Amino acid sequence: MDQRGTGFTRAILFCRQLDPNQDVNRRAIEREMGGSIRFFPLPCSGRVDPLYLMRALESGADKVYLITCPEGACRYREGNLRAKKRVAYTQGLIEEIGFARERLELIVPSAEKRVTIDELTRDILAREAAIGTSPVKGK
């Protein structure tokens, strides 16, 4: 869905190993937030390509989050480490084209406490986005 519209929009890409019951857990937030939040479960956060993140920004998301599984918990051993590198690389790319690097954020949950996708999302929503709407949307 094209995210161009009114209001601040967030795209959340996340590793689904993080929360086995993610499909049910995110429904309450989806209902509350409607089109201003989009979830994209990934089989592994290491699958994310800089192109994914750029495309999410291009399609009108004001802020893109990538949530990996905790360090050391990747079922493909180092998928989340690779994701970290790719986010850093993409942040450099978007900065070059005049976007704030904060439009892209990596979230690595702690390995000590198991968290669900809705808890993580509510944490994100509770924080100030500290960034305006995306220049892609125009003025």
Partner 1 sequence: MPPKYHIHTSRTANRFQLITKSGIIAWDEGCLKCVRCVKKDCVYKVYEKRGIDTRQMLESLDSVCMDCFRCVQGCPNKLIHKGLNPSYKELGDHYWTPEIISGLWYQAEAGRIPVSGGGYGGNFSGPGFDAMWTDMSEIVRPTRDGIHGREYISTTVDIGRKVMALEFDQTGALETTPPPVVEIPQPILFDLLPWSPPRKGINLAMLEGARSLGTFAVIRQSEFIPAMEEYLPNIVLYVDGSLSDIDPDILRRLRLIEIPYGKGVIASQKVLKERHPGLVTIIRMELNPYSSSNVLRLTAEGAEVIHLVADEYGLEKSGKPLFIKERVRKIHLHLVDKGVRDQITLIAGGGIAMAEHVAKLIICGADALSVDIPLLVAMECRVCRRCREGISCPVELETIDHVWGASRIRNLMAGWHNQLLEILGAMGIREVRRLRGEMGRAMFFENLEKEIFAALGKRG
Handedness of CA 36, 41, 42, 46 (dihedral sign): positive
Please tell me whether residue 27 binds partner 1 under the rule CB under 8 A: yes
Least gap, CB of 1 to partner 1 (angstroms): 5
Out of 9, 18, 46, 69, the residue judged to bind partner 1 by CB under 8 A: 46
Cβ-contact 53, 26 below 8 angstroms: no
Least gap, CB of 128 to partner 1 (angstroms): 26
Please tell me whether residue 59 binds partner 1 under the rule CB under 8 A: yes
Termini Cα distance of the chain:
21
Cβ-contact 79, 15 below 8 angstroms: yes
77: left (phi over 0), alpha (psi -120 to 50) or beta: left
Out of 51, 88, 111, 125, the residue judged to bind partner 1 by CB under 8 A: 51
Query: Can you give the binding site for partner 1, defined by CB under 8 A?
Result: 1-2, 11, 13, 16-17, 23, 27, 30-31, 34-35, 40-44, 46-47, 49, 51-52, 55-56, 58-59, 76, 79, 82, 85
